[in-house]
Amino acid sequence: MSCKPKTDEKVLYKMKRIALALLICLTGASSAMGVTIEWWQFWTDSDIKPVIESMVTEFEEANPDIEVELRDLTWANGHEKIVISLASGSGPDVLELGSDWIAQFADKNQLADITEYIVDDSSEFQGWGMATYRDKVYAKPWILGTRVMFANRDLLDRAGHDEDFVPINFPDLVSSTQKVDALGDDIYGWGSNAPEKHRLYKKFLPFFWSYGGKIYSDDGKYVLLAAMPGIEGLRKYKWLHEHVGYVANQRGLEDAFLDGKIGYVISGDWLLKRIKKENRDIELTSMLIPGPKFPGFSFMGGEFLAINAASENKEAAMKLIDFITAPKNQVRFCKAAQAANPSSLTAQEDEYFTSNIHFQTFIKQIKLAKHPPVDPNWVKIEAAIEEAVEEALFGSGLVAEPLRKAALKVRQLKAE
C-alpha cells in the first residue's frame, strides 16, 4: 500500500511468485550502448508528428550516444497518465507540460530544477514567468499561445465602418458591437462564452487585467481579485455579454462566427488553422484586445518542456529540450502546426510570422499578455474565479458580490 516502494515490493513479490509464475515476462529488450531517454508529448496530428519525429532523428544523429523514445499522449487524458506514472515513480525523462500544470508538479518536487541550465537562454525566450515557482525555473518554454480579437469584416462593412476600422479601446468596441448587433435578429455583436471549464476565465481575464485588475498583489501576498479595477473589468465584460452577446460554448461561438452570425469574437491561432483547413469563405480582421483607452492585455499560456526529477539522464534530457526549443526548430514546428506564438524571440522574427498579418497580431498581442499566478492550487483558484464570473453573468446580476466571495475562497486556496 501507499506509494512507499518497499511495501509494494513485498506484496508484489509474493503475488509474482504465486500467481504470475506461469507468465513469461518480455521486457523491452535491448540495452543500448549510450543512454536512452523517454519523451512524452502531445502532438499527434498527421501534419505535426512527422516534424517532431524528424527533429528527434536529427537530434540522435547529432548526439550518437543518446537515443530518444518518443511517446504520444492524448490531450484529454495525458495529464492523468503523467500523474499516474509520476506517482508510481516511473515517469519519462522529458515531459511536455501545459503551463498551468507546472506549479502543481514543481510543488510536489516532481520536476528537476533547471535554473542553472537556462541562465544563458533567459533573454532569448519568452514565458519564463509561467515556469518559475518559488524563484526556481522548472521548465523551458516551447510554444506559447495567446488569444486575440477577430472581427467579421463583412459585418463591419455593413454596420457602416470604414474598411480599416479597428476598435482600439473599449468604448469603440461597445459602439461597434451595437451597430453590428442592430443588423438583424440573427446577428450578434459579440461572442460570449457560456460556462465551460478551463475556457470561460480565459475570456474574462483580459478585460479584468486591461482595467487594472490583479488576482494577487505584486508581492504575491494579498488577494486583490475583488478590488475596484477588477470589478470594473467584469462589469464591462458583462455589458457585452448582456447587450450584444451570442452565448455558446467556445466551439459553438467559433461555428457561429464562421457562419457570419457574430461581429467580434476572442479566439486563438487555432481559428486561423480551422479557417484554412475548412476552406472557409470569411474575410476577417485580427486585432489586439481593446482596453479602457488603448489596447489592453490578453491571456497567455503555452506548452513547456520539463525534466522528471527522478530522471537519471538529466544532462541528455536538457540537451534534447534545448534542441527542440532551438529557434530554427520552433519555426519548423510552428509551420507544421500553423501556430502563431513560438517562445523564441529569434523565431518570432522569422519571415513565416512577419509575412502574415494575423500572426503579426498574435506576436504583438503576446507582448501584451499576462498569465495567471503560478500556484499549485491554480486549478481550484481558476474554478473559484469561473464560478464568480458565471454567477455575475448568469445569476442575480450583481458583479461585485460574486467576486468578493471568490476572493475569500482564493485567499484560502492560495499557496503560502
Partner 1 sequence: MVRRSSPLSVTLRYAASIIILGIMIFPLLWMFRVSLLGPGGIGFERLASTAITLGNYADLFTSSGMGRYLVNSSLVAAVVVGGNILFCFMVAYTLARYRSLSNKLLFISVILVLMIPVHIVIIPMYVLMVRTGMYDTYFALILPWLVNPIGVFLVKQYIESIPPSMEEAARIDGAGEFRILFQVVMPLCKPALAVLAIQVFFTNWNAFLFPFILTSSDELRTLPVGLALLQGHQAIDWQHLMAGSSIAVLPVLILFAFLQRQVVSGITAGAVKQ
Partner 2 sequence: MRLSRSTAWLLALPWLITFGAFWLFPVIYSLIVGFTDYQLLEPEWHWVGLENFKQLLSDPDFISALENTFIFVIGTIPFTTVISLAMALLLNRKFPGRGLFRSGYFVPSITSLVVISLIFTSLYQRGGYVAMLAEMIGLTTPEYGFLQDSGTALYAIMAMDVWMSVGYYMLVFLSGLKAIPDELYEAAEISGAGRIRQFFSITLPLLKPTMLFVLVINSIKSFQVFIEIFVMTKGKFDTMTAVYFIYERGLTTEFAFGYASAAAYILLIIIAIFSVAQFLLLRRKAPLW
Which stretches of the chain bind partner 1, using CB under 8 A?
8-9, 12, 15-16, 20, 23, 25-28, 40, 42, 44-46, 69, 71-72, 74-77, 80-81, 84-85, 87-88, 90, 251, 254, 258-259, 268, 270, 273-274, 277-280
Please give the angle made by the CA atoms of 51, 113 and 85, to the nearest 5 degrees: 65
Q: Which CB sits closer to partner 1, 45 or 349?
A: 45
The torsion region of residue 29 among left (phi > 0), alpha (psi -120 to 50) and beta comes to: left
Displacement of CA 173 from its chain's centroid (Å): 26
Nearest 5°: CA angle at 162, between 157 and 164?
105
Tell me whether residue 183 or residue 247 sits nearer to partner 2 (CB atom): 247
- DSSP secondary structure letter of residue 290: B
Please tell me the number of Cα atoms within 13 Å of 95 on its side-chain side.
29
Residue 262 three-state SS? strand
Grid coordinates standing for 232?
470594473
Single residue of 197, 276, 293, 367 touching partner 2 by CB under 8 A:
197
355-384: which residues touch partner 2 (CB under 8 A)?
Answer: 379-380, 383
| Residue 261 three-state SS | coil
Q: Which of 47, 58, 65, 80 binds partner 2 (CB under 8 A)?
A: 80
Of 69, 121, 154, 196, the one binding partner 2 (CB under 8 A) is 196
- The minimum distance between CB 162 and partner 2, in angstroms, equals 32
CA distance 408 to 69: 46
Judged by CB under 8 A, the chain residues 212 through 271 that form the site for partner 2 are 247-249, 251-252, 255-256
Among 86, 275, 318, 339, which residue interacts with partner 2 (rule: CB under 8 A)? 86
> Of 139, 80, 133, nearest to 108 (Cα)?
133
Q: Does 105 bind partner 2 (CB under 8 A)?
A: yes
CA dist 164 to 156, 160, 290, Å? 10, 12, 16
H or E segment and range at residue 302:
strand 298-307
Stretch that binds partner 2, among 83-91, 147-155, 229-237, 329-337 (CB under 8 A): 83-91
Closest to 391 (Cα-Cα) out of 210, 289, 241: 241
Q: Is 110 in the site for partner 2 (CB under 8 A)?
A: yes
C-alpha cell at 65: 550516444
Which CB sits closer to partner 2, 68 or 256? 256
Mask of contacts with partner 2, 4-43, x by CB under 8 A? -------xx--x--xxx-----------------------
Positions that interact with partner 2 (CB under 8 A): 1-3, 11-12, 15, 18-20, 76, 79-80, 83-84, 86-87, 105, 108-110, 194-197, 247-249, 251-252, 255-256, 379-380, 383
